[in-house]
Amino acid sequence: MAKEKPWSGRFTEPTNAIVETFTASVFFDRRLYLYDIMGSIAHAQMLAHVGVLTKKERGAIVKGLKEIEAEIDADKFSWSVALEDVHMNIEARLIERIGEVGKKLHTGRSRNDQVATDLRLYLRDGIDVVSDAIAQLQKAILDLAEREAGTPAPGFTHLQVAQPITFGHHLLAWFEMLVRDAQRLRDCRKRVNIMPLGAAALAGTSYPIDRAYTAKLLGFDAPAENSLDAVSDRDFAIEFVSAAALLMTHLSRMSEELVLWSSAQFGFVELSDAYCTGSSIMPQKKNPDVPELVRGKTGRVTGHLVALLTLMKAQPLAYNKDNQEDKEPVFDTIDTVLGSLRVFAGMIPGMKVKRDHLLRAAVMGFSTATDLADYLVRQGVAFRDAHEIVGKAVRLAIDTDRDLSQIDLDEFKKLSTAIGKDVYGVLTVEGSLAARNHLGGTAPTQVKAAVKRARKRLIRPGK
């Protein structure tokens, strides 16, 4: 493959070897090869469509590009650092394969609009794959939520037992987080799917190109309206990584709960051996390494978001070499998010729920105290007064080492004459759960109905 640089005409000395390696991006941007070839084929077809290339020239270029794609797929392609990037490597190989006609491919375009197009094509597919992975995790969560729709569990605030809920209801909160993540990605995809090709270096081209024709070939919704903006901004990449950072933050919160729940101190769940590791020194250990690592990888993706924001914050229009640094954060974000989603989707179905432990925890900490306050309000007591009465009842239970349900009726009546013998019905976990029988509530019947609705709300790529 020829190693002469495509821009070397005005230079009188070769590039310094250190600079050549420092400025090259082929080490990482070669993963764009499929999209670079896709864009080049569409560009060649458009050039033939408007008469800049002959049909014979177009045919030779398209055939040559497809053969290069096969070479790369078979790992028989020789990548050159001297040719800097994926674009020049493929173009040089095309010229080597088909001769002078290969030099015509770059007519009416620049590497500036070429790379922006490649990245958008790559990211569009990445969003679809991530969206599908979210849906797979959501399905796993819904299956478990349906199975545990009636399982009593402690609901926490400040990591203190607050009120009884069902374990299925808690899992549906995870589902809702992922719904919003999928929605953000779907919305982001609309802005990704705009075509920069035809903007050339920054000002467009004097050739009679048909950008709408190229956009249709590549499945873009429309060509970019402004050539300067098309080649220079990476807000679409920042938006994606921002949505991905939020997604990872949600996965991190889930991970933290799994780490806590699987500990001996909580004992709410047991993760499958296939998703845990042991200790090299302590034979009894079963470590929740998967959720711990997902929690750690969240910082990695958040770091990529900060890097991209910083990359763009002081760039003048139009394209600058800084933008070469946009790809690795995007690539690694997709890899990290996909890996995290897929391992979570595999881990959730094999998780054993310890219902007896959850029930014991659900009755701890006077979790039905709010139900007692609600009971008093229904008896005509003002809420603030009810709050005070229940606080005194809790104090009594603490001092006598009892649960609220173990306080005698006579003792309750000393606190408020509004309390009758029917109060004990609201002081059980089952009664508390059943009372919250409304849309979004934790009653088992509501959880089952919510699962059924949720299955219809799953967002899939392109939907």
Q: Is 170 a catalytic residue?
A: no
Closest CA to 448 of 151, 202, 159: 151
HEC per residue, the chain: CCCCCCCHHHCCCCCCHHHHHHHCCHHHHHHHHHHHHHHHHHHHHHHHHCCCCCHHHHHHHHHHHHHHHHHHHCCCCCCCHHHCCHHHHHHHHHHHHHHHHHHHCCCCCCHHHHHHHHHHHHHHHHHHHHHHHHHHHHHHHHHHHHHCCCCEEEEEECCEEEEEEEHHHHHHHHHHHHHHHHHHHHHHHHHHCEECCCCCCCCCCCCCCCHHHHHHHHCCCEECCCHHHHHHCCHHHHHHHHHHHHHHHHHHHHHHHHHHHCCCCCCCEECCHHHCECCCCCCCCCECHHHHHHHHHHHHHHHHHHHHHHHHCCCCCCCCHHHHHHHHHHHHHHHHHHHHHHHHHHHHHHCEECHHHHHHHHCHHHCCHHHHHHHHHHCCCCHHHHHHHHHHHHHHHHHCCCCHHHCCHHHHHHHCCCCCHHHHHCCCHHHHHHHCCCCCCCCHHHHHHHHHHHHHHCCCCCC
CA distance 315 to 458: 39
Amino acid sitting at position 287: N
* Annotated active-site residue in 78, 131, 170, 279: 279
Q: Is 279 a catalytic residue?
A: yes
Q: Which residues contact 1 (CB under 8 A, 6 or more apart)?
A: 78, 80, 83, 89, 92, 93, 96
* Annotated active-site residue in 78, 158, 206, 280: 158
CA distance 288 to 275: 7
124-160: buried (b, 16+ CB within 10 Å) or exposed (e) per residue?
bebbbebbebbbbbbbbbbebbbebbbbbbbbbeeee
Q: Is the peptide bond before 318 cis (omega within 30 degrees of 0)?
A: yes
Catalytic residue numbers? 158, 279
